[in-house]
Amino acid sequence: MSDLRTLLGIEHPIFLGPYGGLSSVGLTAAVSDAGGFGQFGLYGYDGDRIRATGAELRAATERPFGVNIWLPTGDEVAPNPQHTIFAQALEPFYEAVGVDVPARPEQYLPSLDEQLEAIWEISPAVLSVVFGVPSAELVDEARRRGIRVVGTATTVAEAVALAEGGVDAIVATGMEAAGHRVSFLRPAEDSLVGTFALIPQVVDAVDVPVIAAGGIADRRGVAAALALGASGVQVGTAFLATEESATTDAHRAAIRATAADETVLTRAMSGRLARGARNRVVRAIEASGTIAPFPMQNWLTGRFRTAANQQGLGELQGLWMGQVAPLIRFDTAAEVFAELVAGVPGGR
């Protein structure tokens, strides 16, 4: 089995979680420059935006970095007449931030082909994917260009499918993790395995390196994950709370104020199951019983969430965080990274 440090040209097996919508060039570069592996989430980015982001990343760091995309699952809805009905159900939240109820767009998301065309141009060290097994064509093209492909699994069966699909490494993400549950073989609600039960089972089932994600925020979590056979760890919430991330002060404050049992798995914000704080907007949408399918719901809530972010209204934001939130205590990426590296045997 390949060593991740050799495979990717990094010094420490510490990976930055690729936040969809909350990634920043500064944080990605900071983790890569520290000897880890910085990643940037490209959810919703069209080709031009991907190219621009790639140029910014190249200017910010000379070290390897990765980008992340969501694979289509086939159940995504296109803009249709129901858009207006679901938009009107969210009208109180648009009013609260002073924006109009959004009209139906031509599309909610760019195509996978458009994203891949731009990704091949920016040529990251790694393309990581969620919500499925990359096609043989994608894997072959990445390999031809010298780009490693990393898949993401929430169950052992998903990990086996990814390994059979030819990925170079697998992120095994437990139900403790922040953000979306990226299950693809069974419904997310039926794929809730804890990180430290999932890791050794995945390690035993596949012959590629396994990266542990979910519930890891300090040296203890790193040491535990590596002891269970993981080749590296991917950390989201701890880095999300740093000043280098693209999130808001209200979000950072919420991470530090939320107990482990106060996070919730909800479809309220995007139409897909995701873990975050149960703030006012989540409670209200859940109580309404009116949640559009993905990606319509994500696009609709995104219109007021963006304004809420700008206005510092945490109760109307998507406050993604994992159950590890109470362990967060560092303000900078350098401090988080140093703490995590302390959990690697020999500091490497």
Average pLDDT of span 36-65: 98
Q: Is the pLDDT of residue 247 over 60?
A: yes
CA-based max dimension of the chain:
59
Q: Give the span between the Cα atoms of 187 and 87, in whole angstroms.
A: 26
Q: Provide CB contacts within 8 A for 103, sequence distance 6+.
A: none
Identify the pLDDT of residue 53. 98
Mean pLDDT of 8-23: 94
Q: What share of the chain has pLDDT > 90, as a percent?
A: 97
pLDDT band, residue 21 (cuts 50/70/90) = confident
Mean pLDDT of the chain: 97
Confidence of residue 2 (pLDDT cuts 50, 70, 90): low
Flag whether pLDDT at 163 surpasses 90.
Answer: yes
How far apart CA 19 and CA 17 sit, in angstroms, is 6
Structural domains of the chain sorted by starting position, each given as residue range(s) with its CATH number in brackets: 4-76+109-258+325-347 (3.20.20.70)
Instruction: Compute the distance between CA of residue 300 and CA of residue 83 in angstroms, rounded to an integer.
Output: 9
Categorize the per-residue pLDDT at 133 as very low, low, confident or very high, splitting at 50, 70 and 90: very high
What pLDDT sits at residue 115? 98
Report pLDDT for 1: 57
E-strand ranges in the chain read 14-16, 38-41, 65-70, 126-130, 148-153, 169-173, 179-180, 210-213, 232-235, 263-266, 274-277
Q: What is the length of the chain? A: 348
Closest listed residue to residue 327, CA positions, set 244, 247, 249, 235: 235
Distance, C-alpha 144 to centroid of its chain: 26
Residue 225 has pLDDT above 80, yes or no: yes
